[in-house]
Chain A
Amino acid sequence: MSELRWNPLLGEWTITATHRQERTFLPPADYCPLCPTRPGAFETEIPVPTFDIVVFENRFPSLQASPPRPAVEGCDLYPVRPAQGVCEVVVYTDRHTTTLAEESTERIRRLILVWCDRFTELGARDDVAYVYIFENKGEAIGVTLHHPHGQIYAYPFIPPRIARKLAQAEHHWQSTGRDLLGDVLDEEQRDGRRIVCENEAFVAFIPFFARFPYETLIVPRRPATAITDFDAGERWRLAEILKTLLVGYDRLFGFSLPYIMALHQRPTDGRDYPYARFHVEFLPPHRTAHKLKYLAGSESGAGAFINDTIPEETAPRLRACCIAEG
């Protein structure tokens, strides 16, 4: 059973997807569904013996291009919609025991080219309002497969946190004529203490208002609303700063750091969003090597985040680990 159920208390959709209870959970490496299908071996999700980067439609999707009819009747208080959309898996490499941080800048650039292709194709669909590209890394985040991969959710609505960020940006645009994230970038550069790494096209920083100790934003120096707005030079610089930051994260505590990586872009619902600004957000849950930041009472119940650190102290630690990769 799968459908969208309206939450009138928060004014947002909940996606139900009961079939996902059956999805593959931490299989042994010999039975990884994201490895290539080797001759004579078990058939994985990827029907070729080697590959560079592969994207496939999720076997256990939260959203489907041809969704089933909702299993429940809606009403005025509780509207219900089919779980329309697309869920894709992006497999970064055919090698099982690696991470994006350990891959070359060139491979990260190729991944960026794939992200551009998926954003263009999925964003052109009439039933897609927002293309959300992300990666969950590490069991601390809840991954069910260790093979390095990310995901893409093509939603039929603008997800609530993204809608809230866009509303803030629109308000700022209308009251000042400037884009909000551009002003945030200017302030971070003026202050300087929270900058983690930068190159000629992008700046990475732990923002003044960070909710997680090592939360980082990568923001382009020039306004761009989507990853497809960048030229070849900017794509390379994006690959470069991603590599630098990812390697820095792994040096921070001396192990491969779990994180959520989220790409934020303009919606694809046909409206104009001149105030949207592309950025990459990293949300690592670790606050120390052995302690996690949990979303507990204040965060989950009240929506008020408590950060046990201040970014003026965490940014220098992360910056010291971020040495530009050649």
Chain B
Amino acid sequence: MTLSPMPPEPILTRQVVIKPDGRRVMVYTFESADADQPPAPPADDSARHVGASLEPAPG
């Protein structure tokens, strides 16, 4: 069972932008509750393919 330490939860902020066609865009930012807490680490940026080659579909 996982019992890793829990970093402090960041505070969510939402900024709403209205696009020219009227649609809403919500831009979320996260302020660390702990000034020493690093930002979310980036992921591995190498290109990848989701899924694999598959057998033909039936019928």
Contacts and interface: CB of A to CB of B under 8 A. Distances in A.
> Chain B contact residues: over half helix, strand or loop, or mixed?
loop
Given A289-B52, A294-B57, A199 B12 contact: no
A255 interface: yes
Contact of A138 (B14, B40, B44, B50): B50
Interface residues of B, number: 40
B50 A292 contact: no
Contacts, number: 136
A139 B57 CA distance: 14
Given A53-B28, A236-B6, A294-B58, A99 B50 contact: yes
B50 to A, nearest CB: 4
Interface string B1-29: 11110110110101001010101111111
A57 interface: yes
Given A95-B43, A95-B45, A113 B30 contact: yes
A291 interface: yes
B26 A290 contact: no
Contact of B49 (A53, A55, A256): A256
Interface residues of A, number: 58
A45 B17 CA distance: 11
B55 A47 contact: no
B35 interface: no
A199 B6 contact: no
Contacts of B14: 117
Pairs A-B, 3 closest by C-beta atoms: A199-B2, A57-B23, A98-B43
Interface of A: 45-48, 51-57, 59, 93, 95, 97-99, 102-104, 106-107, 109-110, 113-114, 117, 137-140, 146, 197-200, 232-233, 235-237, 240-241, 244, 253, 255-258, 286, 289-292, 294, 296, 324, 326
